[in-house]
Structures are given as C-alpha cells and as structure tokens.
Structure 1
Amino acid sequence: MLAEFSPMLQANENLRAAYEEAGCYSVLSLSTDPVYGFLAGRSTLDILLPEIRELLPASRVLVVLRPHQMLGATSPENGESVELQIHRACDKGLRRLIGSRPTIPSPKHLTLTMAGRGLTLEHDDGTVIARANVTASGRWRQAARDRGSALVLYGYGLALHDPPPHRQLMTATAEVHHRIAEASGNGLLAAALVSVHVQPGPTIPESAATAARRQPSRTTRARRKGRRR
C-alpha cells in the first residue's frame, strides 16, 4: 500500500477493498492480430538490441488491462490528483506513456502469471497490480511460453468495461490512437514488457477464445431474458 495514501485507504473500507482486489477487465491478443496487433509497441530491448528480435518468436504477447473502478485521490504531499491504481502500477515498474514515441520499460520484478482462467500481474514483493478472469487461446498460451514475456497496457481509454463500444472503437484505428493519446496525456495509461509464467492447463481453440470475448455476461443475458417475458 502506498504510504502517502494509507490513511485515506484505511478510513474508507470500500475504497480499500477495491484497491486491494486489483480487479481488471482484460483482453489477451498477439501482435499479429488484425484488430489489436498495432497496440504492440517498442521495448527497451527492441531499441538497444534490435538483433534480438530475430531470436524471438514473431508474435508479441499482448495484454490490455483496465481496472474495474477508477480510484481517484488527491496527494496529501503536493495536492496533485492521481489515480491510485495507475500510481501503484508505476511505483512497481510500469511507466506512463508520455509523448508520441514512448519507450516501454522491461522491469525485472514483475511477473504475469496465467493459472487456469486466472491472470495475475504481481511484483516480487507480493504486491498484486492486476487480477483478471480471462479466456486464453492455445496460440496465446504457446506464444507466451515461447517468448517468455508480454507487453502489458494498463489503464483507461479503450472502454474495456463496455464490450459493444469497445468492439466498435477497435474498428477505428484513428480513434483508438486519439483515445490512447488522451488517456496518456491525463496520466491514465501505463505499460511495461513483463515476464510471463503460464501454468499447465487446458487450452481452447482460437475461435472459442474470440467468441468468449464477444459473449455477453450472465447478468446481461438475464436482463435480456427478463425483457422478453
């Protein structure tokens, strides 16, 4: 827990629970994907050691995460407004995307772990930055094992919390770039290239993973069914 915000979090049980839960909406993809592939950026390794790209699998593993709730706060030290979860993520190794050609860090102490349908982004000190329930295709899992790393985009701007607008947004590349620039300008989008550990488990076909991303939630289905009655 960030020390400067500890008193505020201790005083607000709901805020503290959401902060500690670290729950996120998520999208898993590959750099070769026709919809999400262009989101894959450059890492420090790409810049300093461009020849290393020939030694790694062609597909970069991509994970887009958006916290379930936006948790805003005012810093007691300088009066600045911050989003607590972005603040924590950057404190543990992610970097805010700033400028038109941001450099993405490769922190050593962050690991993305896939266990069954559970995805966790965690620091070596035990701090959990993100948790998500996901559906990963066999191709994604294999690329993650082969490459051993994933590009994580963490923050806001891409409407992951609302699937229909998100799907519509992702068909308009210029608008996606605008949303990313807007979120980055507000300090609400961060990224890092992190290590990946995929635990043994069942895989599903790529088509099934895509269908799962498009499938409405149980709550949504129940509301639709109720309206038909």
Structure 2
Amino acid sequence: MELSGARVLVAGATGVIGHGITRELTARGARTALAGRDAARLVTVADATGPDTPRRVFDAYDLDGCAALAPWAAERLGGLDAVVCAVGAVAFGPADTLLDAHAEHLVTVNLLAPAALLRAALPLLPEGGAVLALTGVVATSPQPGMADYSASKAALAAWLTAARAEQRRRRVRVVEARLGHLDTGLVDRAVAGTPPPLPPGGDPDRAVAAVADALTGDAELVRPAPGGPGCVLQRRAR
C-alpha cells in the first residue's frame, strides 16, 4: 500500500501510540480520520494533523459505536484503504483476586471493541487494503499478575489469525502489531492493581515507525526485535 494519499482510520488516536501513528501516517502523506475517547485531546490531535481532519469521539465499551466508525470514516474520506485499531486497557493482580468487572472490562476493550471495529471495516476495504490492531507480547507469553490482560490480548491475536486467513483471498491484509513493553505510561493508567517491577519501556517512536512500515509493505506481523530495540516485520504470520 502506498501511504501517500491513502485514506486511513485511526481508532484510539488520543492514546500515546495512536497519536504517534497518526503523526507518522500524516508525515507519509496519508489522509486520516481520527477517533478517540478524550474529546479535548482529540481536537488537539486532529488540529495538528490538519484543519479538515474528520474526528469522532467514541468509547470502546460502546460496541455499536465501534462498529459505526469505519462507515463514518469511509463517508468522510470518500472511501477507506486502511484501519488502525490502537485501543487497549491493562489491569494487574493475581488471577484469584481480580474482580470479574475488571476482567469484563479488559475483554470488552481489548477484544470485543477491536473485533466490532474491524468486522465492520473489512467489507469496506478494497483489494490491497489493510487492517492493523495492537496486541502485545503477552498474547504469546502470558505473564503472572496479568492473567486476564494476557488472555484478552491472546484472544484478539486468535481473532486476527482467523480473519487473516479469511481475507487473504480478497488480498486484504490483517496485521497484528505484537508490541513489547513501551514507555507510554499505560501501566500507570491500569483499571486495577499495581504493576509489578518492569524493565524500562522501549521507544514508542520505533514502534510507530514499524507500524507505518507494516502498512506500506506486505507484513502480517510486527514483533519486537530479538535481543535489541526496534521491531521486526514478518511477512507471513500464522
């Protein structure tokens, strides 16, 4: 996909990674429609992108609202070439202490909301289009104290894997950005619990650049580079 002139919806544009992806896509010439939960920050992000950038407030807990984003963006942009889903929430604590309400929140935000968004987006994309969603290394390496968070991200990874196989015949790419721990402040905004000791977070800008690179090429998976900073783009993901 050529990003110059591409029409891209970024959901979660008011988060650190979503905002970074928006900046990177704009710098590469993409036309964006932005959606986020924080209304005031959304105005700031959209205005920095361009005076006519479409923007829409949504809450990941509103699944109907998530499903409505892609049709809205397609209408405002005159079509849609790609969708980036950068929503997410985290909680910490042993599996036998986390409240069911917190587990429900994680599953809704980390699985059901991206699935609702992408399910509605896929039929709107042309051949050569792409959708990309953020999971995390916990999707394949669940961590103690993060059982429900890990499970919700693993479930999204499974959804993306199945959808990817379905969409290959249409030549629409389904990309998973399985990012490592990044310095975004997400752990300080946990819906429950206190984060365990963690190593220093990686550079979000490297991850953002890798996400944009994945959209331009034929990658299906973005994952941390083994033993060092940065990310690896994997052409074929299972």
Give the alignment's TM-score, normalised by structure 1.
0.26
Pick the structure with more strand per residue: 1
Bigger RCO of structures 1 and 2 (CA < 8 A, at least 6 apart): 1
